[in-house]
Copies of this chain bind each other. A is one copy, B any other.
Amino acid sequence: MQLSLNSQSSLPLVDQIVIGARNLIDDRVLRPGMRLPPIRTMASEHGVSRFTVVEAYDRLVALGYLQSRRGAGFYVAARQETPALMQRSGEIERAFDNAGVMHQSLETESGRLKVGVGWLPPEWMDEVGVQRNIRTLARRADTKVVSYGTAQGYRPLREQIQIKLGEIGIAAPAGQIVLTVGATQALDMIARYLLKAGDCVFVDDPGYWNLFANLRLYGVNLVGVPRTMDGPDVPALESLLAEHRPKAFFTHSVLHNPTAGNISAAVAFRILQLAEKHDFLIVEDDINADLYPVPTTRVAQLDQLRRVIYVGSFSKTLSANLRVGFLAASPDLAAALTDVKIVSCLSTSEFAERLVYLMLTEGHYRKFTERTQGRLADAITGTLRLLERSGLKIYAEPQGGMFVWAQAPGIADSVHLATQAAQSGILLAPGNIFRPQMQPSPWMRFNVAYALDPRLERFLGEALGR
């Protein structure tokens, strides 16, 4: 079979065979009814183990690409009724391997303890304040609620974001800011603009898994850059750059999801040097910016939006429901990304943007974030005690935010613990979902705003036998 396998690639050999065979079948080089090489032949031809081939063939059967005929080997399966759809389904399935947690997270059906989610509980947010501001806004004669917003988004809010970014040392004129449907759409628009199938992209390992699923769907090659307590691991990044030519590095600087660490100024500087030398862009996710009160470094602060695209949001602090996020970029990129926004959703909701603007300017926002920072600090202290009592090892004591990254001793893959937890009505976030290739991980991410519910400690006690 015409396959080129690379044992140096970060993509496991099984995946390489599965993807290669899928492409040959999709492109009709291998046609329905054709027999694949026997496992033994395939293994020796490509210098891989027979187990690798068996696993790849089995996955291709599960994806509907192959049929296994008892004793007679593996054959290319006949096409389904709607091949246009079916051809993609394998890819989608791989892309969404870790989307199950998101589905469960977004379910409103309650009773479940959602220790694994990436946001604050509704009761921590200022529901009443947001509702009051909605009423205020809806009473104003000048509030547009029926016509499209402008392409870049409500200008006064962009000017307010300009001020906020100025406070953390990033000079971003309102003309370089584009409002988006949360940070997720900002990341999506950037990926859509910068990347094409087959491109190499660096991401944090561990990192934001919904982004990984999205990038995989674009058909790009994800390479994980190990994360240390000070940000991306610079020596590891250097050696990865000897092998790969990434178009971009998507990284999360402050209160990193999931480890809760911050990038140091020295690491930010080194990463920018490497970006310059190896000519890639940095997409800096700073979604937790307002949960962290201490002055700290962002890559964009050093670079000033030359090689960095900066992404932020109000979903974690004001409302995830309204879907208001933003990106800041060089003038050219901001213009191009506005075009991407137009073709993919025309415009964002100006009503929601006016609401965010109102809450930023009437003083509500600052008060709320200060109070929340205090509450989170208490919850972190409580969660650290609880996890230590339960015998877990903490990665590092977080300086803020909602996450604690921890592992249970003697457990190499936390997926099993998460499965057990699900049976007890607890949604845990196992470490493997935060890894670019879903590699096993002993770690877990705990949301401190949910973790102090007694059900978690009870479960950990029982599961870990203490």
Contact = CB atoms under 8 A, between A and B. Distances in A.
Contacts of A107: 150
Given A99-B342, A185-B345, A210-B343, A83 B279 contact: yes
A280 interface: yes
A146 B84 CA distance: 38
A213 interface: yes
A108 interface: yes
Residue of A88, A131, A350 most packed against chain B (CB within 10 A): A131
A150 B281 contact: no
Contacts of A145: 127, 130-131, 134, 319, 321-322
Given A321-B351, A349-B352, A214 B344 contact: yes
- Report how many copies the assembly holds: 2
A453 B342 CA distance: 28
B82 A279 contact: yes
Contacts of A193: 88, 92
Contacts of A307: 82
Nearest to A134: B138
A367 interface: no
A87 to B, nearest CB: 9
Contacts of A89: 332, 336
A219 interface: yes
A134 B150 CA distance: 21
B347 A106 contact: yes
A219 B192 CA distance: 11
A348 interface: yes
Nearest to A248: B84
A193 B340 CA distance: 17
Contacts of A345: 181-182, 184-185, 188, 323
A221 to B, nearest CB: 14
Contacts of A130: 145-146
18 contacts: A84-B281, A96-B339, A106-B151, A106-B342, A106-B347, A107-B150, A122-B144, A145-B321, A146-B320, A146-B321, A181-B345, A185-B344, A188-B343, A192-B217, A196-B219, A210-B346, A320-B346, A349-B349
Interface of A: 82-85, 88-89, 92, 95-96, 99, 102-103, 106-108, 119, 122, 125-127, 130-132, 134-135, 137-139, 143-151, 181-182, 184-185, 188, 192-194, 196-197, 210-211, 213-214, 217, 219, 247-248, 279-281, 307, 315, 318-323, 332-333, 336, 339-340, 342-352
Q: Which 9 A-B pairs have the closest CB atoms?
A: A125-B146, A214-B343, A134-B138, A185-B345, A188-B344, A148-B320, A122-B147, A146-B319, A181-B345
